[in-house]
A = this chain, B = another copy of it.
Amino acid sequence: MDKIFRLNMTDKSFKVEPVPAAWVPLGGRALTSTIVAEEVTPTCDALGPNNKLVFAPGLLSGTAAANSGRLSAGAKSPLTGGIKESNAGGTVAQKLVRMGIKAIIIEGMPKDNKWYNLHVTKDSIVINEETELLGKGNFAVVEALEAKFDKKIGILTIGQAGEFMMTSANISVKDPDSKIRSHGRGGLGAVMGSKKIKYITVDETGAGAVPVAEPEKFKAAARTFAKALLDHPVSGQGLPTFGTNILVNILNEAGGLPTRNFTYGQCEDHDKFSGETMHDTIVARGGKPKHGCHAGCIIQCSQVYVDKDSKYLTSGFEYETIWGLGANCLVSCLDDIAKADNLMDDIGIDSIEGVVMFAVAMEAGILPWGDGKAVHRLLTEEIAKGTPLGRVLGNGTGSVGRTYGITRCPVVKNQGIPAYDPRSVKGIGITYATSTMGADHTSGYTIATNILNVGGFVDPLKKEGQVELSRNLQIATAAVDSTGMCIFVAFPALDVPECLPALIEMINARFGINLTGDDVIALGKSVLKTERAFNLAAGMNNAHDRLPEFFSLDPVAPHNAIWDFSDAEIDEFWNF
């Protein structure tokens, strides 16, 4: 029987609870968002004792389903002031499922001024005072804990940014190679820091196999599903070859590659940091062009990027990070970008928030445009040390914009806008504006249909069809995020007819239930509405579903496109 682990950091009490009936059919985002919505007062201080930090594996996590190993983390976000769900690969989700832990809920806040670590076993969570690893980066934490336990230990950790409760702080999770993946967005690392938890170790000793109600049916569906992933040109070829960074040249061509803090839509130097260049560099230097973020991943969009001497520089080197420093900050040297990526992983800040923030910092004159070494210095000497400037930077894009009075400040709900210009790719603008998460491309990735012709085509420069496109994708994504699946399964799911039925079949076979496609859509809608209700109760309204004013005032080359949706057109999104 699955169970809920509930830990209170105020009185250090721990309880094992049965899974309430209403939570049984939920997993991943559906479960974390439901728990946060049910148990957290929306108006509470996100860094205070009334916020809760929730971890939950997806419905299919721990099974043999391809790409299902993602862990969801949820809380009220100190960055957006709304609800937050952020999921990541790594090794913890699958361990929790094998241990029968449906979710971990961490509540309260120590009244002493001490730091703690948590040790999760199949029966309990033990709280220990922590002193040794305070002030250390994530890589040092992983190294020390693997030495203390063994290579198999699961780890969730925060870097210095989380200790300082910076609102761009992420929660890192150890991946199969002892490197890390990130619950990146929304400052969940600050929430973990506010609860004075430096790290959580997950020891699955004694855990059992994951029960599957109908094993044969599951196997058949899993095969169909995996084949769809491998057959689709994006998930089967593009992503494994070039990683997500395949997008630099594509977005540059489309005029949607935000450049110099969203001033232009194309970047002259795009070839210097494109996916093609990155792939060739990795191959020439003897890195790994393919790499999975969790056991069972068959897309392998990650990679191990090495320096000239074939020494590890970074992994999980994503398009958004590379775009952000490469085009948006004009740091065209891929090695400089890789080093910055590695530093952000180590310090524990969301690399999307980080790169969007650095461009605004350049706009503010804090560092010169294109200066990669200055980026490294600010990361190690200011952010990692929690200096006043480091705190301003570590609190993200909006923090820098507000502190320096910069109006070209690309945020929605105070979260930095990712790597696609909403003026020239209008569907993603609707997603940025309306997502319950703040600006978040993954919550409704219209790039698929606006740019990659996946799931049809909606002209990125026209307003027609964008709201519907974003709505459909956000609903589907909320459902997919609940399965523990990587969001990239959406590519085949949109194009390969047998893919989505196989995904649903796997869920049905796992639990012995009979979900239909409609049920899955209903789940997605319900997740969005639950999240939206939380945000409204937290003080948001339609006026928060807006892009910054400059997108409506300043046209972006080469299309001279502006953001031209009326308020009423945007608000139509919630009409479902």
Chain B CB within 8 A of A405 CB: yes
User: Please, which residues of chain B bring their CB within 8 A of the CB of A537?
Assistant: 543
Instruction: Tell me if B402 and A549 are in contact (CB < 8 A).
Output: no
User: Please, which residues of chain B bring their CB within 8 A of the CB of A47?
Assistant: 405, 407
Top 10 nearest A-B pairs (CB, nearest first) are: A539-B543, A165-B405, A388-B389, A48-B407, A45-B407, A391-B403, A45-B549, A388-B388, A47-B405, A541-B541
CA–CA, A261 to B503, complex, Å? 55
Q: Mark A139-170, 1 if CB is under 8 A from B, else 0.
A: 00000000000000000000000001111000
**Would you give the shortest CB distance from A353 to chain B, in whole angstroms?**
15
Chain B CB within 8 A of A56 CB: no
User: Please, which residues of chain B bring their CB within 8 A of the CB of A548?
Assistant: 45
Instruction: Tell me if B546 and A43 are in contact (CB < 8 A).
Output: yes
Residue on B nearest A187 in the bound complex, by CB: B405
CA–CA, A389 to B540, complex, Å? 30
Instruction: Tell me if B50 and A194 are in contact (CB < 8 A).
Output: no
Residue on B nearest A388 in the bound complex, by CB: B389
Chain B CB within 8 A of A190 CB: yes
User: Which residues of A line the B interface, CB within 8 A?
Assistant: 42-45, 47-50, 78, 164-167, 190, 193-194, 366, 387-389, 391-392, 395, 399, 402-405, 407, 536-541, 543-544, 546, 548-550, 553
Pairs across A and B, CB under 8 Å, 17 listed: A43-B546, A47-B405, A48-B550, A49-B553, A50-B549, A190-B405, A193-B405, A194-B405, A388-B389, A389-B389, A391-B392, A392-B403, A395-B402, A395-B403, A399-B403, A537-B543, A539-B540
Question: Which of B165, B404, B405, B538 lies in contact with A543, CB distance below 8 A?
Answer: B538
CA–CA, A78 to B536, complex, Å? 23
Question: Provided the pairs A43-B549, A541-B539, A549-B45 are in contact, do residues A402 and B399 lie with their beta carbons within 8 angstroms?
Answer: yes
Question: Which of B78, B404, B549 lies in contact with A48, CB distance below 8 A?
Answer: B549
Beyond A45-B407, A395-B403, A399-B402: 10 further Cβ-contacts under 8 Å?
A43-B546, A43-B549, A47-B407, A48-B407, A48-B549, A49-B553, A164-B405, A166-B405, A391-B392, A539-B543
**Would you give the shortest CB distance from A392 to chain B, in whole angstroms?**
6
CA–CA, A28 to B383, complex, Å? 46
CA–CA, A366 to B388, complex, Å? 9
CA–CA, A175 to B404, complex, Å? 31
**Would you give the shortest CB distance from A545 to chain B, in whole angstroms?**
9
Residue on B nearest A42 in the bound complex, by CB: B543
User: Please, which residues of chain B bring their CB within 8 A of the CB of A404?
Assistant: 165, 391
